[in-house]
Amino acid sequence: MRLTDTIKLLTLAAVTAGLAACGGSAGNLPPAGPPAVPPPSSPASVTNTIVGLGDSLTAGYQSSGMLGQANVPLTQVEFTSIGLTAVPPTQENGFFSIFYSAAKGMTWVQQATPGISVLPLVAGPGIGNQILPANPADTGGYPFATVPGRSSCDAFNQSAYTFSANSGGGATVRMNPTSVTYDLGIPSLTLAEAIGMRQPLTTTCTELYNPPASVAQAEIDGLQTLVSGESENYYPVMEKYSSPGNPVTPLQAAESLHPTLTTVWLGANDLLRYIFSGGTAPGIDTTASQVQSHMTTIIQGLRHGGSDVIVATLPNVVETPQFAIVGNPPSQAYCQVQTWLPCILTEIVGLTWAQAEGYVAGVLIPTDSFLAPSGSQNAYLTETGLITLVASGGNPASLSASGNGSQYLTASFAAQAQSVNAAINGGILAAASATGVPVVRVDQIFDGIYSGAGPYFLQAASINPGKCCTLAFGGGLLTFDGLHPSDSGYALIASAFAQTANGAFGTSIPAINAVGAYTGAGGIFAPYPDPYARH
């Protein structure tokens, strides 16, 4: 679920559409019709070989980066002044890593160890450029910053695009290039690409912006650099399975591992490409029937090989902190659980509550009619639009009139995006029902947390009452890109997968308590506190 450059995205998606149209899984897929049902499995054997097929959520992507190596040092004052002296690894903290470790009795330290880990561990400094907690006094007010001196197209990132047995791709970027890995999460992967993508869509990275001249510009670029994520991450994840001489798809790679249990979490990038392109990206699934067809193909392929399967739905994406509601909440208390623009203006810019409410109602909405709420619908600023606005000193003219999707969502387009969101979830549920596989209802979990009431909210908010975790900006559930979960957030999701597996297959995966990820309890969790949540 990595953001993708709108310019590159349109070109690459067109290529993807053609690729997906002429590809499916290998010829070993069952014919159309009812899925082949694998022999009944004993609960103990279900977890013999666990594979994760998905996108950045399965990969353990966090805060616009992917990293497996521990103790990559930080020396810049904005980080060291708050006690952050190393870049936090991401992959070991992902839901699949936590779920796998709990099911198989592995530890976080083992998952971080090349040769032992089942993750395609990325070496430092990591793919992308992570957005890390930082001292606002050193960043001009922002509570986060990208690592200075890095770009999305530096030499390390560029090396990830190329296959070579001895250099480039996995051999350069991976810590464990020869190990068999079971996490096949490729950031930016769509449903069609999981079935039909056999090689990166591009072999090079091109900077689409000038090197940042200020912290504010660095944040704009870092939060929504929008490079072709699946091309950059394809070989680091797939090089053990796919080569130019023998290209295979992610689904084929999963099938080749002969899993007994596969987690499948896809569809988020179909939705995000729709949103960030303003609804114009081709080659993506936006209807329930498209999603059902592709998800059914994936489930059938895996079940034909004898694997049990768990799928998951998507959250309502406009409920994440990537999007700030343009409007004034019923009360300031809403700042604790949801992301409203006045809340961020008080937290980052330092306005009083009255000033923030007055700015939104009296300046921003009247000036920019495309942001004016319509009826009960809301308009939203993306993180890029928010930071563009803040960096300009609050000048509404800084927002582009053509920025629908990239800088903001009009009320009408936000409603369309939510409709696509619901259609994708409908297709996932239909495929699961038709094939008889269990579903992790991530949509219900996030809706519950967003509501500020009920068991899901209480579960998240009780991690550290008053500090963690909610879906507000800085609420601790998600990282600073506003989309990917924190250590605590991934642990909550891993817990839901474990509960679903135990209920559906009779397995005995130990309970996963997100408090351990928040505090840095060790064991299956990182041996340091969650860096993306308040303590």
**Do 267 and 169 fall within a single domain?**
yes
- To which residue do tokens 């596989």 refer? 437
Specify whether 359 is located in the same domain as 496. no
pLDDT of residue 374: 66
pLDDT at 206: 65
Q: Which of 523, 447, 446, 454 is nearest to 478 (CA)?
A: 446
Backbone φ and ψ for 22, nearest 5 degrees, come out as: -105, 5
Give tens-digit pLDDT for 488-533. Answer: 999 999 999 999 999 999 999 999 999 999 999 999 999 999 999 9
- The total of other beta-carbon atoms located within 10 Å of residue 339's CB is 30
Helix, strand, coil: what percent of the chain each, to 5? 45, 10, 45
Do 384 and 433 fall into the same domain?
no
pLDDT band at 368 (very low <50, low <70, confident <90, very high): confident
Do 372 and 422 reside in the same domain of the chain? no
Most confident of 18-22, 162-166, 399-403: 399-403
Shared domain check, 435 and 402: no
One domain, residues 394 and 504: no
Other CB atoms within 10 Å distance of the CB of residue 373: 15
Q: Residue 73: which domain range?
A: 6-319+413-519
Distance CA 484, CA 469 (A): 14
Same domain? For 404 and 417 the reply is no
Q: Token pair for residue 93?
A: 């903290």
Does residue 68 lie in a domain region?
yes
Cβ neighbors of 307 (< 8 A, separation 6 or more) are: 38, 51, 258, 259, 260, 261, 262
Res. 169 pLDDT band, cuts 50 70 90: low
Q: Are residues 426 and 375 in the same domain?
A: no
Name the residue with higher pLDDT: 364 or 103.
103
Judged on CB neighbours under 10 Å (0-12, 13-18, 19+), 502 is middle
Question: What is residue 212's predicted lDDT score, i.e. its pLDDT?
Answer: 47
pLDDT digits (tens, 9 = 90+) for 471-496: 999 999 999 999 999 999 999 999 99
Looking at the structure, tell me whether residues 192 and 55 fall in a common domain: yes
If you compute the radius of gyration of the chain from its CA atoms, what whole number of angstroms results? 22
pLDDT above 90 for 430: yes
- Tell whether 127 is covered by a domain: yes
Tokens matching residue 302: 């895996």
Q: Is 80 exceeded by the pLDDT of residue 189?
A: yes
Average pLDDT over residues 429-441: 98
Which of 395, 390, 364, 359 shows the shortest CA–CA distance to 139? 390
Task: Tell me the pLDDT tens digit for each residue of 64-100.
Answer: 999 999 999 999 999 999 999 999 999 999 999 999 9
Q: Is residue 535 part of a domain?
A: no
Query: Over 80: is that where the pLDDT of 15 sits?
Result: no
Listed residue (431, 474, 396) closest to 296, CA to CA: 431
> From CA 347, how far away is CA 351, in angstroms rounded?
8
Contact 60, 185 (CB under 8 A): yes
CA distance 441 to 334: 24
Pair 501, 494: CB distance under 8 Å: no
Pairing, β 379-382 against β 408-409 = antiparallel
Q: What is the 3-state secondary structure (H, E, C) of 445-500?
A: HHHHHHHCCHHHHHHHHCCECCCECECCCCCECECCCCCCECHHHHHHHHHHHHHH
Over residues 258-312, the pLDDT tens digits come to 999 999 999 999 999 889 888 888 889 999 999 999 999 999 999 999 999 999 9
Q: Work out the mean pLDDT of the chain and round it to a whole number.
A: 87
Which of 30-34, 90-94, 101-105 shows the lowest per-residue confidence on average (mean pLDDT)? 30-34
Q: Which of 344-348, 365-369, 457-461 has the highest mean pLDDT?
A: 457-461
Q: Which of 362, 381, 410 is the last residue of a domain?
A: 410
- 354-367 pLDDT, tens digit each: 999 999 999 888 88
pLDDT at 441 over 70: yes
The number of residues in the chain equals: 535
Lowest-confidence range among 6-10, 122-126, 341-345, 383-387?
A: 6-10
CA triple 196-197-203, angle to 5 deg: 160
CA gap 354, 214 in Å, rounded: 29
List pLDDT tens digits, range 33-70. 344 455 456 787 999 999 999 999 999 999 999 999 99
Q: Which residue has the higher pLDDT, 163 or 184?
A: 184
Whether residue 265 sits in one domain with residue 198? yes
Q: Are residues 232 and 302 in the same domain?
A: yes
Contact criterion met (CB below 8 Å) for 412 and 374: yes
For residue 18, is pLDDT > 50? no
Cα–Cα dist 449/339, whole Å = 12
pTM across the whole model:
0.90
Q: Would residue 531 count as lying in a domain?
A: no
Do residues 328 and 340 lie in contact, with contact meaning Cβ atoms separated by under 8 Å?
Answer: yes
**148 and 169 share a domain?**
yes
121 with 171: CB under 8 angstroms? no
The secondary structure of 202-224, three-state, reads CCCCCCCCCCCCCHHHHHHHHHC
Percentage of the chain exceeding pLDDT 90: 66
Domain end, chosen from 392, 410, 428, is at 410
Average pLDDT over residues 126-142: 91
Asked if residue 25 has pLDDT above 80, the reply is no
CA angle 442, 515, 439 (to 5 degrees): 20
Structural domain ending residue among the three candidates 410, 436, 469: 410
Q: Which residues does residue 72 pair with via DSSP β-bridges, in sequence order?
A: 87
Give a three-class secondary structure readout of 98-140.
HHHHHHHCCCHHHHCCCCCCCCCCECCCCEECCEEECCHHHHC
C-alpha torsion 290→447→262→269, nearest 10: 50
Q: What is the mean pLDDT of residues 22-34?
A: 34
- The C-alpha atoms of residue 73 and residue 476 are separated, in whole angstroms, by 23
User: Which of helix, strand or coil describes residue 66?
Assistant: strand
Q: Which amino acid is at 522?
A: G
Compute the distance between CA of residue 281 and CA of residue 9 in angstroms, rounded to an integer: 7
- What's the pLDDT score for residue 387? 83
What is residue 228's DSSP assignment?
A: -
Alpha-carbon span 234 to 184, nearest angstrom: 10
Structurally, how many domains does the chain consist of?
2
Contact 498, 509 (CB under 8 A): yes
Q: Is 523 exposed, middle or buried (0-12, 13-18, 19+ CB in 10 A)?
A: middle
Residue 507 lies in a domain: yes
**CA 451, CA 235: separation in Å to the nearest integer?**
40
pLDDT tens digit sequence for 221-232: 444 443 345 688
Domain assignment present for 473: yes
Structural domain contains residue 335: yes
For residue 85, give the amino acid letter.
Answer: T
Asked, for residue 284, whether it belongs to a domain, the answer is: yes
